[in-house]
Protein backbone atom coordinates (compact mmCIF):
# COMPACT_ATOMS: atom_id res chain seq x y z
CA UNK A 1 0.00 0.00 0.00
CA UNK A 2 1.15 3.53 -0.78
CA UNK A 3 1.63 5.99 2.09
CA UNK A 4 -0.89 8.80 2.49
CA UNK A 5 -0.42 12.48 1.75
CA UNK A 6 -3.16 14.65 3.20
CA UNK A 7 -4.04 17.79 1.25
CA UNK A 8 -5.91 20.54 3.11
CA UNK A 9 -7.58 23.03 0.75
CA UNK A 10 -10.21 25.72 0.89
CA UNK A 11 -10.75 29.47 0.51
CA UNK A 12 -8.58 32.07 2.15
CA UNK A 13 -9.20 32.84 5.85
CA UNK A 14 -11.12 29.58 6.36
CA UNK A 15 -8.65 28.22 8.92
CA UNK A 16 -6.51 25.85 6.82
CA UNK A 17 -3.32 26.51 8.79
CA UNK A 18 -4.80 25.66 12.20
CA UNK A 19 -6.49 22.54 10.85
CA UNK A 20 -3.33 21.38 9.06
CA UNK A 21 -1.30 21.80 12.24
CA UNK A 22 -3.77 19.69 14.22
CA UNK A 23 -3.69 17.07 11.48
CA UNK A 24 0.12 17.00 11.30
CA UNK A 25 0.41 16.70 15.07
CA UNK A 26 -1.93 13.71 15.06
CA UNK A 27 0.08 12.11 12.25
CA UNK A 28 3.47 13.06 13.77
CA UNK A 29 4.61 14.55 10.49
CA UNK A 30 5.43 17.92 8.90
CA UNK A 31 3.67 20.41 6.63
CA UNK A 32 4.33 21.54 3.07
CA UNK A 33 2.82 24.88 2.13
CA UNK A 34 1.25 25.12 -1.32
CA UNK A 35 0.29 28.78 -0.99
CA UNK A 36 2.14 30.55 -3.79
CA UNK A 37 1.82 33.92 -2.05
CA UNK A 38 3.62 32.69 1.05
CA UNK A 39 6.75 31.59 -0.81
CA UNK A 40 8.22 35.10 -0.68
CA UNK A 41 10.02 36.22 2.47
CA UNK A 42 9.61 39.90 1.53
CA UNK A 43 5.81 39.55 1.87
CA UNK A 44 4.84 38.60 5.40
CA UNK A 45 1.78 40.45 6.64
CA UNK A 46 -0.16 40.64 3.37
CA UNK A 47 0.12 36.91 2.69
CA UNK A 48 -1.06 35.77 6.14
CA UNK A 49 2.06 33.70 6.75
CA UNK A 50 1.64 31.32 9.73
CA UNK A 51 2.64 32.96 13.00
CA UNK A 52 5.88 32.22 14.83
CA UNK A 53 3.96 30.01 17.27
CA UNK A 54 2.28 28.11 14.43
CA UNK A 55 5.58 27.56 12.64
CA UNK A 56 7.09 26.34 15.90
CA UNK A 57 4.20 23.94 16.57
CA UNK A 58 4.91 21.89 13.43
CA UNK A 59 7.81 22.30 10.96
CA UNK A 60 6.64 23.97 7.73
CA UNK A 61 8.35 23.82 4.33
CA UNK A 62 8.12 26.25 1.39
CA UNK A 63 7.32 29.22 3.60
CA UNK A 64 9.18 32.45 2.71
CA UNK A 65 12.00 30.55 1.04
CA UNK A 66 12.19 32.82 -2.02
CA UNK A 67 12.81 36.48 -2.76
CA UNK A 68 10.33 38.54 -4.76
CA UNK A 69 13.13 38.89 -7.32
CA UNK A 70 13.35 35.13 -7.87
CA UNK A 71 11.66 33.46 -10.82
CA UNK A 72 9.81 30.57 -9.23
CA UNK A 73 7.26 28.68 -11.31
CA UNK A 74 4.68 26.06 -10.47
CA UNK A 75 6.95 23.59 -12.27
CA UNK A 76 9.82 24.48 -9.94
CA UNK A 77 7.54 24.00 -6.96
CA UNK A 78 6.26 20.65 -8.23
CA UNK A 79 9.78 19.23 -8.55
CA UNK A 80 11.02 20.51 -5.20
CA UNK A 81 7.86 19.69 -3.26
CA UNK A 82 7.73 16.11 -4.58
CA UNK A 83 11.29 15.61 -3.32
CA UNK A 84 10.32 16.96 0.10
CA UNK A 85 7.17 14.80 0.19
CA UNK A 86 9.31 11.74 -0.48
CA UNK A 87 11.62 12.72 2.38
CA UNK A 88 8.70 13.17 4.77
CA UNK A 89 7.12 9.87 3.76
CA UNK A 90 10.37 8.05 4.43
CA UNK A 91 10.85 9.79 7.77
CA UNK A 92 7.29 9.86 9.12
CA UNK A 93 5.12 7.64 6.91
CA UNK A 94 2.80 10.48 5.86
CA UNK A 95 2.80 14.17 4.98
CA UNK A 96 0.42 17.14 5.06
CA UNK A 97 0.12 19.68 2.25
CA UNK A 98 -1.89 22.85 2.86
CA UNK A 99 -2.75 25.78 0.63
CA UNK A 100 -5.26 27.71 -1.40
CA UNK A 101 -3.35 27.85 -4.69
CA UNK A 102 -5.29 25.35 -6.79
CA UNK A 103 -2.77 25.06 -9.61
CA UNK A 104 0.01 24.20 -7.16
CA UNK A 105 -2.12 21.62 -5.38
CA UNK A 106 -3.07 20.04 -8.69
CA UNK A 107 0.54 19.95 -9.82
CA UNK A 108 1.41 17.72 -6.86
CA UNK A 109 -1.64 15.48 -7.24
CA UNK A 110 -2.03 15.22 -11.02
CA UNK A 111 1.12 16.70 -12.54
CA UNK A 112 1.29 19.71 -14.82
CA UNK A 113 -0.80 19.89 -17.96
CA UNK A 114 0.85 19.82 -21.39
CA UNK A 115 -0.29 22.55 -23.77
CA UNK A 116 0.28 23.06 -27.51
CA UNK A 117 2.87 25.51 -28.79
CA UNK A 118 1.74 29.08 -29.34
CA UNK A 119 2.95 30.88 -32.51
CA UNK A 120 4.55 34.27 -32.00
CA UNK A 121 1.82 35.90 -34.09
CA UNK A 122 -0.89 34.69 -31.71
CA UNK A 123 1.11 35.76 -28.67
CA UNK A 124 1.58 39.21 -30.16
CA UNK A 125 -2.13 39.48 -31.00
CA UNK A 126 -3.14 38.70 -27.44
CA UNK A 127 -0.54 40.97 -25.84
CA UNK A 128 -1.52 43.84 -28.13
CA UNK A 129 -5.16 43.43 -27.09
CA UNK A 130 -4.14 43.73 -23.46
CA UNK A 131 -1.83 46.70 -24.03
CA UNK A 132 -4.30 48.61 -26.19
CA UNK A 133 -7.65 47.86 -24.57
CA UNK A 134 -6.80 46.80 -21.01
CA UNK A 135 -7.67 44.02 -18.60
CA UNK A 136 -11.42 44.06 -19.24
CA UNK A 137 -10.84 43.34 -22.94
CA UNK A 138 -8.92 40.13 -22.32
CA UNK A 139 -11.37 39.14 -19.58
CA UNK A 140 -14.26 39.45 -22.04
CA UNK A 141 -12.36 37.57 -24.75
CA UNK A 142 -11.65 34.70 -22.36
CA UNK A 143 -15.31 34.55 -21.34
CA UNK A 144 -16.21 34.14 -25.02
CA UNK A 145 -13.62 31.44 -25.72
CA UNK A 146 -13.62 29.47 -22.46
CA UNK A 147 -16.38 30.23 -19.96
CA UNK A 148 -15.32 27.28 -17.80
CA UNK A 149 -11.85 28.62 -17.14
CA UNK A 150 -13.21 32.18 -16.93
CA UNK A 151 -15.25 31.12 -13.88
CA UNK A 152 -12.17 29.65 -12.17
CA UNK A 153 -9.25 31.93 -12.99
CA UNK A 154 -8.19 34.94 -10.94
CA UNK A 155 -9.63 37.62 -13.22
CA UNK A 156 -7.23 40.18 -11.75
CA UNK A 157 -4.22 38.14 -12.88
CA UNK A 158 -3.51 39.19 -16.48
CA UNK A 159 -0.72 36.63 -16.97
CA UNK A 160 -3.09 33.72 -16.36
CA UNK A 161 -5.69 35.20 -18.69
CA UNK A 162 -3.16 35.93 -21.43
CA UNK A 163 -1.83 32.39 -21.29
CA UNK A 164 -5.33 30.90 -21.56
CA UNK A 165 -6.17 33.14 -24.52
CA UNK A 166 -2.95 32.23 -26.31
CA UNK A 167 -3.60 28.50 -26.00
CA UNK A 168 -7.29 28.85 -26.92
CA UNK A 169 -6.57 30.86 -30.05
CA UNK A 170 -3.56 28.82 -31.15
CA UNK A 171 -5.30 25.46 -30.77
CA UNK A 172 -8.85 26.59 -31.64
CA UNK A 173 -9.96 24.70 -28.53
CA UNK A 174 -10.73 26.08 -25.06
CA UNK A 175 -7.81 26.27 -22.68
CA UNK A 176 -9.77 24.04 -20.26
CA UNK A 177 -9.83 21.28 -22.93
CA UNK A 178 -6.09 20.74 -22.49
CA UNK A 179 -6.20 20.36 -18.74
CA UNK A 180 -5.99 16.96 -17.06
CA UNK A 181 -4.72 15.33 -20.26
CA UNK A 182 -1.44 14.30 -18.66
CA UNK A 183 -1.69 11.35 -16.25
CA UNK A 184 1.23 10.91 -13.87
CA UNK A 185 2.28 8.32 -11.32
CA UNK A 186 2.61 9.33 -7.69
CA UNK A 187 4.15 7.13 -5.00
CA UNK A 188 1.47 8.15 -2.51
CA UNK A 189 -2.27 8.02 -2.00
CA UNK A 190 -4.01 11.40 -2.04
CA UNK A 191 -6.35 12.20 0.83
CA UNK A 192 -8.01 15.50 -0.04
CA UNK A 193 -9.76 17.46 2.70
CA UNK A 194 -11.64 20.65 1.88
CA UNK A 195 -12.73 23.26 4.41
CA UNK A 196 -15.79 25.38 3.82
CA UNK A 197 -18.71 27.03 5.60
CA UNK A 198 -21.47 29.57 4.99
CA UNK A 199 -20.29 32.22 2.57
CA UNK A 200 -21.36 35.01 4.92
CA UNK A 201 -19.03 33.64 7.61
CA UNK A 202 -16.14 33.32 5.14
CA UNK A 203 -16.63 36.95 4.12
CA UNK A 204 -16.81 38.02 7.77
CA UNK A 205 -13.52 36.23 8.48
CA UNK A 206 -11.91 37.85 5.43
CA UNK A 207 -12.98 41.36 6.47
CA UNK A 208 -11.67 40.79 10.00
CA UNK A 209 -8.37 39.43 8.68
CA UNK A 210 -7.82 42.49 6.49
CA UNK A 211 -8.46 44.78 9.47
CA UNK A 212 -5.92 42.80 11.51
CA UNK A 213 -3.39 43.00 8.67
CA UNK A 214 -3.74 46.77 8.52
CA UNK A 215 -3.33 47.01 12.30
CA UNK A 216 -0.24 44.79 12.09
CA UNK A 217 1.49 47.06 9.59
CA UNK A 218 0.42 46.05 6.07
CA UNK A 219 0.53 49.69 4.96
CA UNK A 220 4.19 50.02 5.98
CA UNK A 221 5.05 46.66 4.41
CA UNK A 222 3.48 47.76 1.12
CA UNK A 223 5.43 51.04 1.25
CA UNK A 224 8.68 49.08 1.58
CA UNK A 225 7.77 47.01 -1.49
CA UNK A 226 6.33 49.85 -3.58
CA UNK A 227 9.42 50.52 -5.69
CA UNK A 228 9.24 46.91 -6.93
CA UNK A 229 5.49 47.00 -7.59
CA UNK A 230 5.87 45.77 -11.18
CA UNK A 231 7.25 42.40 -10.10
CA UNK A 232 4.90 39.48 -10.73
CA UNK A 233 5.10 38.36 -7.09
CA UNK A 234 3.57 41.67 -6.01
CA UNK A 235 0.67 41.50 -8.46
CA UNK A 236 -1.51 40.18 -5.70
CA UNK A 237 -4.46 41.23 -3.57
CA UNK A 238 -3.46 43.28 -0.55
CA UNK A 239 -0.53 44.98 -2.21
CA UNK A 240 -1.76 46.17 -5.59
CA UNK A 241 -4.68 48.06 -3.99
CA UNK A 242 -2.31 49.89 -1.65
CA UNK A 243 0.01 50.62 -4.59
CA UNK A 244 -2.98 52.29 -6.28
CA UNK A 245 -3.39 54.37 -3.13
CA UNK A 246 0.28 55.40 -3.22
CA UNK A 247 -0.16 56.36 -6.88
CA UNK A 248 -3.01 58.69 -5.89
CA UNK A 249 -5.65 56.69 -7.76
CA UNK A 250 -7.78 55.84 -4.69
CA UNK A 251 -7.96 56.84 -1.03
CA UNK A 252 -6.58 54.63 1.74
CA UNK A 253 -10.10 53.90 2.95
CA UNK A 254 -11.16 52.80 -0.53
CA UNK A 255 -7.98 50.74 -0.89
CA UNK A 256 -8.79 48.78 2.27
CA UNK A 257 -12.35 48.19 1.08
CA UNK A 258 -10.98 47.07 -2.30
CA UNK A 259 -8.68 44.58 -0.57
CA UNK A 260 -11.67 43.12 1.27
CA UNK A 261 -13.79 42.98 -1.88
CA UNK A 262 -11.07 41.43 -4.05
CA UNK A 263 -10.21 38.90 -1.34
CA UNK A 264 -13.87 37.89 -1.11
CA UNK A 265 -13.94 37.45 -4.89
CA UNK A 266 -10.74 35.42 -4.71
CA UNK A 267 -12.25 33.16 -2.03
CA UNK A 268 -15.30 32.55 -4.21
CA UNK A 269 -13.08 31.53 -7.13
CA UNK A 270 -11.04 29.25 -4.86
CA UNK A 271 -14.17 27.39 -3.78
CA UNK A 272 -15.37 27.07 -7.37
CA UNK A 273 -11.96 25.78 -8.46
CA UNK A 274 -11.62 23.15 -5.75
CA UNK A 275 -15.21 21.96 -6.01
CA UNK A 276 -15.04 21.63 -9.80
CA UNK A 277 -11.51 20.33 -10.20
CA UNK A 278 -10.84 18.11 -7.20
CA UNK A 279 -12.83 15.41 -5.44
CA UNK A 280 -12.48 16.29 -1.77
CA UNK A 281 -14.03 15.27 1.51
CA UNK A 282 -15.62 18.55 2.51
CA UNK A 283 -15.76 19.61 6.15
CA UNK A 284 -17.72 22.52 7.62
CA UNK A 285 -15.45 24.49 9.95
CA UNK A 286 -18.39 25.00 12.31
CA UNK A 287 -18.73 21.22 12.77
CA UNK A 288 -15.20 19.85 12.44
CA UNK A 289 -14.86 16.22 13.52
CA UNK A 290 -12.26 14.89 15.91
CA UNK A 291 -9.03 14.47 13.94
CA UNK A 292 -8.38 10.96 15.19
CA UNK A 293 -11.91 9.86 14.23
CA UNK A 294 -11.62 11.58 10.86
CA UNK A 295 -8.39 9.76 9.99
CA UNK A 296 -9.98 6.40 10.73
CA UNK A 297 -12.88 7.19 8.42
CA UNK A 298 -10.76 8.27 5.44
Ligand-binding annotation for 12, yes or no, is yes
Residue 263 assigned to a binding site: no
Closest CA to 59 of 50, 48, 72: 50
Q: How many residues are recorded in the chain?
A: 298
What is residue 175's DSSP assignment?
A: G
CB proximity list for 184: less than 8 A, separation 6 or greater: 110, 111
Helix (H) or strand (E) holding 37: none
Rg (CA), the chain: 19
197 labeled part of a ligand binding site: no
> Is 14 labelled a binding residue?
yes
CA torsion, ordered 57, 63, 65, 66, to nearest 10 deg: -160
Residue 134 marked ligand-binding: no
Please give the helix or strand (H or E) that residue 282 lies within, else none: strand 281-284
Q: Is 10 annotated as a binding residue?
A: yes
Q: 83: how many CB neighbours lie within 10 A of its CB?
A: 10
CA pair distance 80, 85, nearest whole angstrom: 9
Q: Is 109 annotated as a binding residue?
A: no
34 is in an annotated binding site: no
Q: Residues at the annotated binding site?
A: 10-17
Which residues line the annotated binding site for substrate? 12-17
Please report, in range form, the residues annotated as the binding site for ATP: 10-17
Amino acid sequence: MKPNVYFVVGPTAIGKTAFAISLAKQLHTEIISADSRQFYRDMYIGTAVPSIDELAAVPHHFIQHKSIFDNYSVGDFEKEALVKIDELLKAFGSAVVVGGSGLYIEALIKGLDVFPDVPDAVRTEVRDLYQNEGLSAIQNRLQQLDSEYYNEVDLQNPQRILRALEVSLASEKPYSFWRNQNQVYRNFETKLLGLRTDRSLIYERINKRVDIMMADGLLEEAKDLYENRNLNALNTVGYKELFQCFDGEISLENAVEAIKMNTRRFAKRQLTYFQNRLSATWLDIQQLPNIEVLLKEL
